């Protein structure tokens, strides 16, 4: 029962505070104005991410021991939220956004949390620091890029957090399990206002915050201490945003749309996985559910790997996930070829 209280608090705080932040965003004119790159036709209030942040913090306050353990993630999350919020309100340069994300990642590292799924410190401390920076910044932006259709980023985050919670429970990591469930509950509390014909958006503040939280959870967790195959666990759980980011980046480089890191961070187009699914004829809500199913399938593979007693079983789960990624790649290529227009069905 004590475990359920912070989870319920997170859900309820987000659910009841989101309309308040919607009205505040309208009064302060903090809106996402439609343009040629966006799918919505009317200006939509932002600040949804602030509601999720407050919900997550409120939930953790009911378990102060866990709050102290994950202090680095939460401080970094504040930095990410503030940077994103300023960007939503007045706009920030790519360099400042990247600097803020690197500082937030360094905060996690400064609190002693690094990539822990490298067996036996394979590349030493410097390698772990570099990989942690790349991982945290990469996942933070990957969730931001996924926030292109109503309900997609928050729903995918909820599913990913659920998978992390199940695996952390099975591997006796109760603190990770709790914060993952609190994050999941916060996203679920937000979804009623963001799912299909959204009344409020996450904004860059929200999408980068939930991405940073997922990255932090995956860094602090112990996933592969006794089995190298379990290196795949966080990669599979976050497989959709990771694959979308990598595939889209490769295609943009190939098409000479970007050539530098700053161009990669600032470039925006309708060429992500969800856009390509819509190009194939799916309605936006259909594309969202399709990605939900893929996320769930990859999460199940990760759970199988975490529970597998034999390496062979883990390898089979990874092979299954590889087939799923191959299918996604085919859909993305075909979706790109059908990009004759951007009229999205209602």
DSSP string, 28-47: TT-EE---TT-S-SS-EE--
pLDDT at 221: 80
Question: What integer pLDDT is reported at residue 193 of this predicted model?
Answer: 94
**Calpha distance 188→52 (Å, rounded):** 9
- Please report the sign of the dihedral spanned by the C-alpha atoms of residue 288, residue 293, residue 294, residue 298: positive
Blockwise average pLDDT, block size 10, the chain, 346 residues: 84 96 92 67 86 93 65 90 92 90 93 67 69 92 88 94 93 88 96 88 93 92 66 87 86 79 72 78 87 91 78 75 81 63 45
Would you state the pLDDT for residue 210? 96
pLDDT of residue 345: 45
| Cβ atoms of 211 and 139 closer than 8 Å | yes
Backbone phi, then psi, for 29, in 5-degree steps? 60, 40
124-146 vs 239-254: helix axis angle to the nearest 10? 90
- Both structure tokens of 151: 């309900």
CB atoms within 10 A of CB 89: 16
CA–CA gap between residue 95 and residue 195 (Å, rounded): 32
- CA max distance for the chain: 58
Cα–Cα distances (Å) from 205 to 39, 46, 231, 302, in that order, read 19, 9, 29, 28
């Amino acid at each position: 029962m004590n475990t359920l209280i912070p989870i319920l608090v997170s859900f309820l705080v987000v659910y009841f505070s989101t309309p308040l932040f919607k009205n505040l965003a309208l009064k302060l004119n903090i809106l996402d104005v439609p343009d040629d790159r966006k799918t919505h036709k009317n200006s939509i209030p932002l600040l949804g991410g602030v509601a999720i942040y407050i919900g997550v913090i409120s939930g953790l306050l009911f378990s102060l021991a866990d709050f102290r353990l994950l202090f680095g993630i939460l401080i970094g999350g504040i930095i990410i939220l503030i940077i994103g919020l300023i960007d939503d309100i007045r706009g920030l340069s790519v360099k400042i956004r990247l600097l803020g994300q690197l500082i937030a990642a360094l905060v996690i590292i400064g609190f002693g949390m690094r990539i822990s799924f490298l067996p036996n410190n394979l590349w030493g401390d410097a390698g772990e620091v570099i990989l942690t920076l790349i991982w945290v910044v990469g996942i933070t932006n990957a969730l931001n890029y996924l926030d292109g259709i109503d309900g997609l980023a928050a729903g995918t985050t909820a599913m990913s957090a659920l998978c992390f919670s199940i695996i952390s429970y099975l591997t006796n990591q109760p603190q990770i399990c709790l914060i993952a469930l609190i994050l999941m509950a916060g996203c679920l509390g937000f979804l009623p206002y963001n799912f299909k014909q959204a009344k409020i958006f996450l904004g860059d503040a929200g999408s980068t915050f939930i991405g940073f939280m997922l990255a932090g959870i995956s860094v602090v967790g112990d996933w592969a201490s006794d089995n190298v195959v379990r290196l795949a666990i966080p990669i599979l759980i976050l497989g959709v945003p990771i694959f979308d980011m990598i595939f889209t980046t490769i295609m943009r480089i190939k098409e000479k749309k970007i050539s530098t890191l700053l161009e990669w961070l600032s470039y925006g187009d309708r060429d992500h996985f969800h856009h390509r699914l819509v190009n194939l004829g799916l309605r936006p809500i259909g594309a969202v559910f399709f990605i939900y199913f893929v996320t769930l399938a990859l999460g199940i593979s990760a759970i199988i790997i975490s529970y597998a007693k034999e390496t062979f079983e883990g390898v089979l789960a990874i092979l299954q996930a590889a087939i799923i990624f191959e299918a996604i790649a085919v859909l993305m290529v075909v979706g790109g070829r059908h990009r004759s227009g951007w009229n999205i069905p209602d």
